[in-house]
Structure 1
Amino acid sequence: MTAHRIEAVLFDLGGTLTAADPAPDTLNLLPQAMPCLQDLAERALPTGLLPDHKNRDSKQLRPLLDEVLDDCEALRPFPAPDRVATLAVRMKAAALRRCVLVCGSADAVSAGLNAGFWTVGTALSGALNAQQMQQWEEQDSDTHDRLRLQATMALMNAGAHYVIDSVDELGSCLDDIEVRLGKAQLP
């Protein structure tokens, strides 16, 4: 594996592939989740999933991901790096600095940074619960801008390397990270 190649892309489930606070006992993927996961498969980038604290059943995602961290109760919660680092090691990543965490919360960004990962924050899916995401189309542009700015600032203040609205914008971040890795830059 070359030094400029991303070794693993990990997703914190809530706020990236689902709404930040989905309805109880559901796993409703965001519309942009499937194209994102398909793009990662085409890029041949290993992907992993950190289920949220409610431990929703992620069986429908298993065929789309290389690894799912199921037994995370014994690991410290975010912002500790335990869950993130454990999943990357299980995915056989040789260097955590060549791994990417995609997440929607400031605590998850901190966990990724604490583990030495590149971090990509998802502002809108991370800030909005399931009901707010359904109401998004009905809201005016001022409300959109306010919510986007609040979420973006929270993720940036936590130290995220990149902040995007949702995972459908992830490809350009990954391209940039690989360029930066090629220049021997560290997260």
Structure 2
Amino acid sequence: MTAPRIEAVLFDLAGTLTAADPTPDALLLLPQALPCLQQLAQRPLAAGLLPDQETRDSQPLRPLLKSVLTDSPSLRPFPAPDRVATLAVQMQADCLRHCVLVCGSADAVRAGLNAGLWTVGTALSGALTEQQMQQWEEQDSDTHDRLRLQATMTLMNAGAHYVIDSVNELGSCLDDIEVRLSKAELP
């Protein structure tokens, strides 16, 4: 019998691959988003996207994603598990406990937990507005530490299994989740 492996990685678009408040008219990916998705494609892990309700244009990401959730009126907003579970099922995951949700908000973390997934919170991209992200270089280290701590605590208090600054740190979390799955740990 083979050890359980991660079946799918789901991304909440806002706060992980884009700023916490993406503009509805343009999909402006964070610099670390594309390399992260390319690394997932090499693993190989199926990656799916939970787009923000206002952000429909995910065409640049489609070649790197197995599935993009199409919202319907019957899917309740976060923290209900509907959107997360529906995307995992669309991606043909056999076991939701073998799926990972990467998200930047406390409500999304709760939705992932409610669906039975492992959750990875992204503290900086999830906590910062697009304007704050652009001003990041101009801020001092005390401001960086304060923003990082606030966001990390918010995600941890929501129950996130892991909290990272951004998706470029996702690989080590996925490795650890696979070790934990091999030990029959559940999210």
Range of TM-score over shorter length? over 0.9
Shift in Å, 1:175:
0.1
2:167 counterpart residue number: 167
SS for the counterpart of 2:48 is: strand
The answer as to whether partners of 2:23 and 2:55 remain within 8 angstroms in 1 is no
Q: Deviations over 1:35-79 (max 9, x none)?
A: 100110010100000001213311111111010002343200000
**Structure 2 counterpart of 1:145:** 145
TM-score (norm: length of structure 1)? 0.97
Q: How far apart in 2 are the matches of 1:153 and 1:55?
A: 27
Does structure 2 conserve the Cα–Cα contact (< 8 Å) formed by 1:72 and 1:83? no
Q: Take 1:64 and 1:72, find their aligned partners in 2: how far apart are those partners?
A: 23
* Partners of 1:43 and 1:127 in 2: CA distance: 28
Mapped to 1, the partners of 2:72 and 2:29 lie a distance apart of 21
Any idea what SS the aligned residue of 1:121 has?
A: strand
Which runs of 5 or more residues in structure 2 are unaligned?
A: none
Partner of residue 8, structure 1:
8
Give the Cα separation in 2 of the matches to 1:124 and 1:35: 17
Aligned residues: 187
* Aligned-CA RMSD value: 1.1
Q: Indicate the residue corresponding to 1:57 in structure 2.
A: 57
Give the Å deviation of 1:3. 3.8
Q: Amino acid of the residue matched to residue 172 of structure 2?
A: S
Q: Which runs of 4+ in 1 moved over 4 A?
A: none
Identity over aligned residues, as a percent?
A: 81
Identify the residue that residue 135 of structure 2 maps to in structure 1. Answer: 135
Give me the whole-angstrom Cα distance separating, in 1, the residues matched to 2:3 and 2:104: 27
> How many angstroms apart in 2 are the aligned matches of 1:49 and 1:72?
15
The residue that corresponds to 2:126 in the other structure is 126
1:20 maps to which residue? 20
- Structure 1 portions without partners, runs of 5+: none
Whether contact under 8 Å (1:40, 1:47) holds in the other structure is yes
Taking the aligned partners of 1:72 and 1:167, their CA distance within structure 2 comes to 27
User: Quick one: distance in 2 between partners of 1:72 and 1:121?
Assistant: 25
Q: Give the 3-state SS of the residue equivalent to 1:148 in structure 2.
A: helix
Q: Contact (CA 8 Å) 1:12, 1:50: kept in 2 or not?
A: yes
One-letter amino acid of the structure 2 residue matched with residue 135 of structure 1: Q
CA distance in structure 2 between the partners assigned to 1:118 and 1:3 by the alignment: 17
Is the contact between residue 78 and residue 110 of structure 1 (CA under 8 Å) also seen in structure 2?
Answer: yes
Whichever residue aligns with residue 89 of structure 2, its letter is: V
1: CA distance between counterparts of 2:20 and 2:40? 22
Give TM-score scaled by structure 2 length.
Answer: 0.97
The reply to whether residue 79 of structure 1 matches residue 79 of structure 2 is yes
Partner residue in 2 for 1:35: 35
